[in-house]
Amino acid sequence: MRSMTNIVWTAAVAFAFLLGDVSADSSAPYPSDFAWGAATAAYQVEGAYNTDGRGMSIWDTFSHIPGKTANGDTGDVADDSYHRYEEDIKLAVEMGITHYRMSISWPRIMPNGKLPLNPKGVAFYNDVINTLLAHNIEPFVTLYHWDLPQALANDSAGQSEGDKLFGKGWLEASVADDFVTYAEACFLQFGDRVSNWLTFNEPLTFVNLGYGSGTHAPGRCSGCSLGGDSATEPYIAAHNVLRAHGKAVARYRQLKAMAPSMLDGKIGITLNCDWGEPFTSSKDDEEAATRFLEFQLAWYADPVFFGTYPASMVAAVGDRLPKFTAEEAAQLKGSWDFFGLNHYTSKYVKKPDYPAPLPGMGTSWYADAHTTQTDTSIDGILIGPLGDSSWLHVVPWGFRKMLNWVAERYGNPGIYVTENGCDVPNESKMSLAEALDDKFRVDFYRGYLSNMAEAMKDGVKVKGYFAWSLLDNFEWADGYSKRFGLHYVDYSDNLKRYKKSSAKWYHDYIRANSPGKSHKLRMANPNAGKGGGETAARHRTLKASIASAVLGFMAALVVVAAVMTGRALVKYNHEHQQRHSHVSGSHSEDEEEDHPSVRSDLLSPRIGLGGKSVSFTSLGPMSSAATGRPSRRSPRGVHSATSASSRMQGSVSMGVLAQDGRGLSSMGPSKSMGQLTHLSQRKSHTNLEDLALQSSEPSLLG
């Protein structure tokens, strides 16, 4: 009996080992559908600023003005991801992420900021999206990451150099409508495969630095050479951004009901905020810290959730704060499906020693907020280690508090941490070997992710996390002098990419905290890029089914092996006893028990060949054969191209946005109105793939 007991016990241990290889610790707070990702932005990584019909953006213009960026750096080439996106996606796959946050360049698909579309720009993003899906990575798409088309500049009646260069930009109410047209084009072009959208990235930053301090495009402020008014323009620009967000979300929800091919996706906005810790426990400092958070985050989040600006801002800013119409307020309220949060650092906040300006009489957003921030406590202790950027201190505990504050103020919405990361002190001056050994960044991620996990245990509904950034990139006014990437980009040697220690650490953390997921085997999705797409739920169901089948098969093998071994051992024991009895007589039962008949190491749970475990993580070259990338017969028809020169030629009709709401998702560039009517009638009972396969004309559908 002991022989069989040993077999069964060893088999159980082996099966438990197999289960443990794909399961997380039961105490981990991360759900099985948690989004693990990394982020980039178009202008920061793509380059190819004047390639394949792309128009200029305000950052192209701004970065070419001497003195506006460190070392005169521009995004002309950046990381050249426009030509090297497959290489970058391979890095993402190897890191084990499930989601990739990217942005679409408005001037790349709309060179003039308005219709018509640029087919080559659309083709590029189809390539990127389909390649991601082919490797089981879901795109998380930002519509606006600061690259306003330069063509929208209006130089009429310009009184300053800035007006002549940039026009009014987000100061013009009409730009909100231009944005909605652009957003609609993106929804219809890519919405059959993209299920997560962000309208804007960090309006606090591009509004305050672009219209308040003048350090970012379009470089406006009181006293700036490009003109501006820091007391009013940030509020006007922010107001128009919020109007654009509300309109775009409303249009997205309409299109989901009207366009059968679109996924039932979700949409939100990404807002950024530092945590403000009261300098002391005094009422004045606590109120200052709350005001600090409201002037940063609630400025945008309150309208999105409640339809109104924070009371503290209304009181301080007065008539300089624009008012929403009743229709705009109603449209804004509830214009979210999740909360996008960028967070990097924290500060101590206290009430200033000087009096607040009279209501409505402040000279800037900073004056209106009436707070003082410091990096040291009342005891003179630094709030946290300093990164390479003067504004970035490593304060993991502030992250947990920030997440809880969002949950408490806004009714605990699902939160995606859409950016979090750091630069390493003096990294740009290090040797390659030193830069790759980025222990400082590893410690940052370890601390921040630990505090995010604690916030989740507090009850905060964090749905996903995106590290900033997948790659070192163009860091706006800092140019290439600051590095935030998990992967090193060698700007002096052909933009070669190298894994940093942080990329390896993040891979291991994801794997250890992804219950029910295997990050050893990433299967290509054969349906990536087809009309209607694969929803996230279907992806997860497929992966779960495969994992269950594999585990079931392995368990069956263990049981069969145990039974067969048991039978063999019974037979062996019987024969052995007969031979032994024949030679030397019978044993006592005690003597038999002292000689176990099975060695436990014969049923080792180790899987592999020659005692070495088998790894499925390595990827070969990303050819269409290896990756399952869609062929040219896929409904988006441009996905097999691997260079800009081989992408689809053609033009898009001015009538791309049809009144039936289908527009771009149902027409090619040269179809007549009669053909369009015929296609739209058929669309209710067919899909984009069918339309593409039945038409021999070149189009955005293929």
Question: Is 202 among the catalytic positions?
Answer: yes
Tell me which residue of 80, 98, 77, 99 sits closest to 88, measured CA to CA: 80
Cα–Cα distances in Å, from 377 out to 278, 296, 422, 673? Answer: 10, 21, 22, 68
The secondary element (H helix, E strand) that includes residue 339 is strand 339-342
Q: Are the C-beta atoms of residues 193 and 203 closer than 8 Å to each other?
A: no
Task: Work out the angle at residue 265's Cα, subtended by the Cα atoms of residues 261 and 270, and round it to the nearest 5 degrees.
Answer: 140
- Residues contacting 178, CB < 8 A, separation 6+: 113, 114, 152
Q: Which residue bears the tokens 């793509």?
A: 46
Cα–Cα distances in Å, from 248 out to 87, 184, 185, 236, 268? Answer: 33, 7, 11, 18, 10
Question: Is 419 among the catalytic positions?
Answer: yes
Q: Three-state SS for 208?
A: helix
From the candidates 202, 328, 475, 534, give the one annotated as an active-site residue: 202
Q: Which residue bears the tokens 């409640």?
A: 306
Mind giving me the DSSP string for 37-52?
A: EEE--HHHH---TTST
From the candidates 46, 328, 419, 689, give the one annotated as an active-site residue: 419
Tokens linked to 643: 């260079």
- Residues contacting 575, CB < 8 A, separation 6+: none
Q: Are the C-beta atoms of residues 422 and 484 closer than 8 Å to each other?
A: yes
Rounded distance between C-alpha atoms, residue 508 and residue 513, angstroms: 9
Cα–Cα distances in Å, from 434 out to 223, 385, 429, 430, 489? Answer: 42, 19, 9, 6, 14
| Burial track 434-451 (b if 16+ CB lie within 10 A, e otherwise) | ebbbbebbbbbbebbbeb
For 201, list phi and psi in degrees, rounded to 5: -110, 120
List active site positions: 202, 419
